[in-house]
Structure 1
Amino acid sequence: MTETTVHDDLTVGRVADLVGVSVRTLHHWDGIGLVRPGGRSWSGYRLYDAEDIARIHRVLVYRELGLALAQIGRILDDPAVDPREHLQRQRTLLTERIRRLEKTAAAVDEMIERTDMNRETNVALSPEEQARIFGTDWDPAYQEEARERWGDTDAWKQSVARTGSWDAEQWQEVKDETDALEADLAAALGRGVEPGGEEANALAERHRASIDRHYDCSRAMQVVLARMYTEDPRFAAHYDQRAEGLAAWLRRVIEENARAHGVDPGTATWE
């Protein structure tokens, strides 16, 4: 708050503009005896002098600290307290309030961080719901690993924005669709469906559409993901438990579909 230097007596309207309170407030303070202007104009209007303005600033500080107007009046009118002591008291109270506000701000920051973690790791789901939906072998560390790897990408931010508000029912719907897709992939492999054919390409597009629920996935990005299906043992084990060789077959299906759409699987990068 900046002190206002007053060289001439001022009207209530001018004081209101200078100190940032309403004319009505100043009239109220005048009426209850909190700040009474000491001067008068030739036409009878009350005028505020430098001492009056200084008292207004003291009132504003005490009010900012949460004190009631009656309490402020008693403090300001205490004959045993001089202006410097008032300022020192205000300084002490302000320091304490700053400390409390900083503590509150730190608590809010922690709440924000926890909220972001909930969105990014699906902690909003209870452990029982996570186990029921994702299986007992679900490990939250996988999501943390993904966040560290992809957290700076637009795709990750898009996924957080899209899935952050999903409830257990929505996650279950996605899981059911994924299970159905993987069952159809395994069945196609078992029937000898060749990568590059019409049925295989349709399955590749279904696979890409399932990723699109989380973030916009181009065919080049899908190819990059498919590489992990054979290069990361965890992905390979996940698909191969559906059907032996499914991970490698799905990678070829995705690569051939991408090739049919002008994407070179050998040079595809995360877009």
Structure 2
Amino acid sequence: MITVHEVSKLTGVSVRTLQYYDKIGLLHPAKYTDSGYRLYDDAALVKLQQILLFRELEFPLKDIKLIMDSPDFDYRKALEQQIDLLTLKKEHLENLLNLARGIKAIGVNKMDFTAFDTSKIDEYAEKAKASWGNTPEYHEFEEKSKHRTVQENQILSTQMMSIFAEFGTMRDLPPDAERVQSQVKKLQDFITANFYTCTNAILYSLGTMYAGGGDFTCSIDKAGGTGTAEFVCRAIKIYCNK
């Protein structure tokens, strides 16, 4: 555990910004001391990286919160977008650097402003935003989420982890067992009721993501025991292929 001041020094994010992220429910510390000081663990730092990634993509904070609260948030997809965007920014800076060096060496003899063009970066950022925010599921999720409080979102998160914990108690059963398949239906219904319409196609994709490593796998295995995420994935695939 490290303090908010240590997080600020490590990341370059101001203490005031970290306090604001906590206030709006974007990034909560792992715990508070008896004196009310914020303490952050590795999971919180990973989430902060994700937030800063979206900030590089120039997403508004409210959109970042909606996306990261969504049960189908895919960190690896976001990371690929970050890599692409940084590559475009690197090329842009190299063009500016070459222009500046040329001016220094031979002076300005040509009115060339192409190096200042950021249209590729802007276009990519818009496409990245659209890939997250222009689906019917996203808009349904946004509508269902906009009036919920931070506490209500935390309750939903706890309830969803409880569903995965229940899966963990079934790992000795075959994934096609009736009890396990009923639990898959419970998960699907919970997502539909609280986030967006979870079709079988979406559920299948979620199952693959649950077992794909990263935050989702760790959280599910923490709730239900090691191997739960993979078990849930296999049970979902059977359910969706019926």
TM-score, length of structure 1 as denominator length? 0.43
Higher relative contact order (CA 8 A, sep 6+): 2
Q: What TM-score do the two structures reach when normalised by structure 2? A: 0.48
